[in-house]
Amino acid sequence: MEKEVKAIILGAGKGTRMKSTKPKVLHEIFAKPLLSWVIDSISALSKKVESIVVIGHGAHEVEEYLNHNYKYVKTTLQKEQLGTGHAVAQALPLLAGFRGLVIITCGDTPLITTQSLKSLIKYHLEHNSDLTVMTTVFDNPFGYGRIIRSAKGEIIKIVEEKDASESTKEIKEVNTGIYCLEWTKIKKAFTELKNNNSQGEYYLTDIIKWARDNSCRVLGYKNPDNREMQGINSRSDLEKAFQVMNQRHLDSLMDKGVTIYDRNSTYISPETIICEDSVIFPNTYIEGRNYISSGCKIGPMAHLRGNCEIGEGSKIGNFVELKNAKIAKKTNVCHLTYVGDAKIGSCVNIGAGTIFANYNSITKEKKLSTVADGVSIGSNSVIVAPVELKEDSFVAALSCITKDVEADSLVMNRVPQKEIKNWVKNKKEKIDYES
């Protein structure tokens, strides 16, 4: 990009319709907050992009999350909810002396893509615009602000639904709430906006009029994918966005050579990379960041909870749950198994019902288990971390492993089988006698 870019993300709203004590922007899709999806799309524009999040409702909770997860994101507090224009104004001190482009967007639009933001910036620069509004088209635009253009195609104003005439309501091009600004030319608008409206608020959309009154060029970039514009205002909106995000990623995976047998029961985080010739069986749920190599088989009814790496040709079977697991090539974790905080080698076989006990509920610690190449673990075994099973060792079924196991060793610690002959017969005879 020819100019430095910074972003202002509006995240101060309460989200009343979510019916939740949690700030709206911290509600999750694929175990990742809505706000994170927006920040990450912006951050992917360039390593130098800095985001400023305007916080308000649940400010402490949002700020704590950002401080823990993002070193390059700043926050500014909107103490009073006086409108979107007022929210942007809170970022002015953090942009003192900045002379590049500013992207303004909302923290509750998780479907916006980096590519669309790049297209917005490219359009803005190529057309020498001072203020560019990202727009889109809906067959049913109810509730959105309508875009009014001049004969030359420039944007004259944005008319909100409640203020629109019948003819204006027929316009299908709408405001998405995403803007690209030449900051040195437009920043003054945020100190001059008026709140002479029925709500007594400072509207971000009023910068259109201010820009035109100050001889600035106002254009609109029309995003062809209106799904990206879906904001989250209710639990229903959250579900719809989740489905869009999932289906979009499934399409991408299938285009890259991944077999997915049932798109209606398969859920895969966009942060998961899956290589060609892998097969995803129905009722599989994959969240977080994961890497699945080529030729793998996942599911049916498997759950990957994030930070997992699956080596080439490995199989993760039905009713298997993985979390923070590194699994090398040609390893089988076939059924009814939990593997958490583990490093598994190649050509390992993990029997049904095996549990990696990785968590101490008293100390809250999670420990790592290591399983070397060629190990075989029998069914219904428990691997209690931290332990190491060395090359080609063999764990007998129904064992509880609490110590390291040497290479090529057989280990078992189950109670020896004991048989009492005629026990059932004697019990029945005693019952018959007493009755």
| Amino acid 319: pLDDT | 98
pLDDT value at 158 more than 60: yes
What backbone torsions phi and psi does residue 298 show, to the nearest 5 degrees? -125, 125
Question: Three-state DSSP class for 260?
Answer: strand
Q: Bridge-partner residues for 103, per DSSP?
A: 7, 180
CA end-to-end distance (rounded Å), the chain: 92
- pLDDT (tens digit per residue) in 253-307: 999 999 999 999 999 999 999 999 999 999 999 999 999 999 999 999 999 999 9
| Amino acid 416: pLDDT | 85
Structure tokens at 351: 């029997």
- pLDDT (tens digit per residue) in 340-356: 999 999 999 999 999 99
Alpha-carbon distance 383 to 194, whole Å?
66
Which runs of consecutive H residues, i.e. helices, occur in 74-222?
84-89, 114-126, 166-169, 183-186, 207-213
One-character DSSP codes across 211-246:
HHHTT--EEEEE-S-GGGG----SHHHHHHHHHHHH
Nearest to 336 by CA among 301, 370, 368: 301
Alpha-carbon distance 87 to 52, whole Å?
11
Instruction: Report the alpha-carbon angle 395-401-406, nearest 5.
Output: 60
- The per-residue pLDDT of the chain, averaged, comes to 96
| Amino acid 139: pLDDT | 95
Residue 303 to residues 53, 75, 118, 157, 268, Cα–Cα distance (Å)? 33, 35, 34, 49, 10
Q: What percent of the chain has pLDDT over 90?
A: 91
Task: Give the CA-trace dihedral at 74, 80, 84, 87, to 10 degrees.
Answer: -30
| Amino acid 1: pLDDT | 53
Residue 264 to residues 161, 238, 247, Cα–Cα distance (Å)? 35, 17, 9
Which runs of consecutive H residues, i.e. helices, occur in 53-182?
59-69, 84-89, 114-126, 166-169
Q: Which top CATH class is 5-229? A: alpha beta
Structure tokens at 308: 């997992």
- CATH 2.160.10.10, applies to 256-411: yes
Strand 32-33 relative to strand 28-29, pairing: antiparallel
| Amino acid 199: pLDDT | 82
Helix (DSSP H) and strand (DSSP E) numbers for the chain:
9, 33
Give the number of other CB atoms < 10 A from CB of residue 162. Answer: 8
| Whether the domain at 5-229 and the domain at 256-411 fall into the same CATH topology | no
- pLDDT (tens digit per residue) in 225-235: 999 999 999 99
Q: Kind and range of the H or E element at 360?
A: strand 359-360
225-264 b/e (C-beta count within 10 Å ≥ 16 → b): ebbbbbbbbeeebbeebbebbbeebbeebeeeebebeebe
pLDDT value at 198 more than 80: no
| Amino acid 36: pLDDT | 98
Lowest mean pLDDT among 6-10, 136-140, 416-420: 416-420
pLDDT value at 329 more than 70: yes
Sign of CA dihedral 106, 111, 117, 119: negative
The domain locations on the chain are 5-229, 256-411
Cα Rg of the chain (Å, integer): 29
pLDDT category of residue 166 using cuts at 50, 70 and 90: very high
Q: What is the mean pLDDT of residues 173-186?
A: 97
**More confidently predicted of 181 and 161:** 181
| Amino acid 217: pLDDT | 97
- pLDDT (tens digit per residue) in 353-411: 999 999 999 999 999 999 999 999 999 999 999 999 999 999 999 999 999 999 999 99
Lowest mean pLDDT among 89-98, 315-324, 414-423: 414-423
pLDDT value at 324 more than 70: yes
Which runs of consecutive H residues, i.e. helices, occur in 173-326?
183-186, 207-213, 235-255
Among this protein's residues, is 249 annotated catalytic? no
pLDDT value at 197 more than 90: no
Cβ(276)–Cβ(294) under 8 Å?
A: yes
Q: How far, in whole angstroms, is CA 13 from its chain's centroid?
A: 20
pLDDT category of residue 415 using cuts at 50, 70 and 90: confident
Cβ(99)–Cβ(6) under 8 Å?
A: no
pLDDT value at 169 more than 60: yes
